[in-house]
A and B are shown apart, each in its own frame.
Chain A
Amino acid sequence: DVKVTQSSRYLVKRTGEKVFLECVQDMDHENMFWYRQDPGLGLRLIYFSYDVKMKEKGDIPEGYSVSREKKERFSLILESASTNQTSMYLCASSPTAGGPSEQYFGPGTRLTVT
């Protein structure tokens, strides 16, 4: 079974802190994604990576950056956390198949910025 793990289930940080969210997948998938999920807004893509050291902005990249130094690991960085970044953060991975493929999600990190 594909497994996507995230470093923390719950995280509380102060405004202005630098925050690192880590995601690891064990199925050698090329594609990895970071989403945030808020009530009424659904899942919104923050960043996407289709290969090591490659990244692409999603719909809401402002205030975030990412790092993918190894294929299995995709990190989301909040350079200076703000209260409007309080949210559920979900990491996902998918293979680069010849056709459509599903995304495998991690359990999520609920981040609270105070």
Chain B
Amino acid sequence: SQKIEQNSEALNIQEGKTATLTCNYTNYSPAYLQWYRQDPGRGPVFLLLIRENEKEKRKERLKVTFDTTLKQSLFHITASQPADSATYLCALPTSGTYKYIFGTGTRLKVLA
């Protein structure tokens, strides 16, 4: 069955450093992948979408890569700030529908 894996352990980094989060998937060949941010007690908020024919996508301090051979996406936050502390989720569409599978998310904590 289709499966998404994100590192369930929290990631702690120092302010100003680059945070890198990983999303791996199996039994799947998605046409695109999405990343969301979720703050405690809130709904997820869409950040970025990357298509299978795009190697990299950037938005301000955010960068996403998509390696369809490795079946992996990396999500980078450069010059991280304490305000970037949140849980980050990756999501993949199930083929032929508008439904998505979400990873369990990785909690990022940026230390001042």
Contact = CB atoms under 8 A, between A and B. Distances in A.
Contacts of B105: 42
B43 A108 contact: yes
A61 interface: no
Interface in B16-35: 31-32, 34
Contacts, number: 53
B44 interface: yes
B44 A105 contact: yes
A48 B46 contact: no
A56 B102 CA distance: 18
Nearest to B47: A102
Given A42-B89, A100-B93, A105 B45 contact: yes
B98 A94 contact: yes
B102 A43 contact: yes
Interface string A75-110: 000000000000000101010100010111111101
A102 B49 contact: yes
- Chain A interface main SS type: strand
B42 interface: yes
B99 interface: yes
Instruction: Report which residue of A40, A102, A105 has the largest number of chain B beta carbons within 10 angstroms of its beta carbon.
Output: A102
Interface in B82-103: 89, 91, 93, 97-100, 102-103
Interface of A: 4, 31, 33, 35, 40-43, 45, 48, 50, 56, 58, 90, 92, 94, 96, 100, 102-108, 110
